[in-house]
Amino acid sequence: MSKPTPQEAMVYLMVIMSASDRDMGDEELARIGAIVRTLPIFQGFDQSRTLAVAQECQQLLQQEDGFASVLALIKGALSEDLRETAYALAVDIAAADLSVREEETRVLDLVKDRFGLDPLAVAAIERSAAIRHRTSG
Report yes or no: 21 and 103 within 8 Å, Cβ to Cβ.
Answer: yes
- Other CB atoms within 10 A of residue 43 CB: 7
Strands, DSSP E only, in 34-90? none
Q: What is the pTM of this model?
A: 0.89
* pLDDT tens-digit map of 72-116: 999 999 999 999 999 999 998 888 766 677 888 899 999 999 999
6-132: in CATH 1.10.10: no
In whole angstroms, what is the distance from residue 14 CA to residue 11 CA? 5
Q: Over range 109-133, report the average pLDDT.
A: 91
Q: What is the DSSP letter of 63?
A: S
Give the end-to-end CA distance of the chain in Å, rounded to a whole number.
Answer: 47
